Copies of this chain bind each other. A is one copy, B any other.
Amino acid sequence: MAVAHFPCIQFTRVTPKGSCVFSVGNYSRSNYKRRYLVLASATKLEENFGQSKVETLLNSIKWNEKGLAVAIAQNVDTGAILMQGFVNRDALATTISSRKATFYSRSRSTLWTKGETSNNFVNVHDIFLDCDRDSIIYLGKPDGPTCHTGAETCYFTSVTDILNDQQAEENKLALTTLYSLESTISQRKAELAAPQNGKPSWTKRLLLDQNLLCSKIRLMRYSGREEADELCRTLEENEDKSRTASEMGDVLYHALVLLALKDVKTEDVLAVLRHRFSQSGIEEKKSRKSHS
């Protein structure tokens, strides 16, 4: 979908007849940088989905007494909840047409597109409504850190840490299992670089011994089976499902250690997979170089 960007022009609302109303941005704001504001073209919107369909959709939302619904921006690759705000009809209509996560600011009584000051837009791939139609997910890819503090997401304060007085001052993002493991491995790598390199750990041994790590991932010709091979054998020898889950855990863990050594993020791997989705496997296979 073509999206035009113009600095300093604020999209404010879609009229009932589908025209768009814009106002000139405020130059005098102290935090004013280069503001890229998304021009949502009513013509585009009509062309793409038909105005009436969007209107019908907007009418189906259960807006609260202030005309708002909750909107949650989520990273399409990692699942991280980036931020949460509120939307009114115009904010949702703008997001549908511009594909940039747009909210309604309750304090400033105006629309705002995440990224309009920081350039860290959230590029929306799809929008989901909940069963009650009063809560919305913007599933998208952020251009950079989403929080105004510079953190990747706005959720970096752990209640458990606060209540246990554990590093309450140190930011700890709300991470799900895979990313929590990735983060732990990164910490181990950082500890190795420090003068006192902390407690011994299996992860550190793997990080220090590339041969050991690679032997764990692939089949060693003479010294027996390792992770990738063991995973296959759970299928071939019809082993327990729990055994498959455990072996797959081993493959994932060791592969994450390798990624850490290469400074590659799981998120980058998932982005590769996402880009491949748009082609069928056979087409995709053909389009890539032959591996062997």
Contact = CB atoms under 8 A, between A and B. Distances in A.
A131 B272 CA distance: 31
29 contacts: A49-B164, A50-B163, A72-B84, A84-B135, A96-B159, A127-B158, A128-B159, A128-B174, A130-B157, A131-B156, A132-B154, A139-B174, A177-B273, A178-B273, A181-B273, A184-B277, A202-B281, A203-B281, A213-B235, A214-B232, A218-B228, A218-B229, A219-B228, A219-B229, A227-B228, A228-B228, A235-B262, A249-B273, A251-B255
Interface in A73-127: 74-81, 83-84, 96, 126-127
A29 interface: no
Given A70-B70, A79-B80, A219-B218, A269 B241 contact: no
Contact of A127 (B128, B160, B284, B292): B160
A280 B75 CA distance: 30
Given A84-B130, A177-B271, A178-B273, 15 more contacts: A57-B163, A72-B72, A72-B84, A74-B174, A77-B177, A78-B79, A83-B130, A126-B159, A128-B158, A129-B155, A181-B273, A219-B228, A245-B269, A249-B276, A251-B251
Interface residues of A, number: 109
B232 A261 contact: no
A48 B232 CA distance: 45
Interface stretch (A11-19, A31-39, A145-153): A145-153
Interface string A51-85: 00110010000000000001010111111110110
A127 B155 CA distance: 9
A241 B258 contact: no
Interface string A220-259: 0101111111111011100001001110110111010011
A24 interface: no
Contacts of A262: 234-235, 241, 244
A202 B252 contact: no
A228 B214 CA distance: 9
Given A80-B79, A128-B155, A202-B284, A261 B245 contact: no
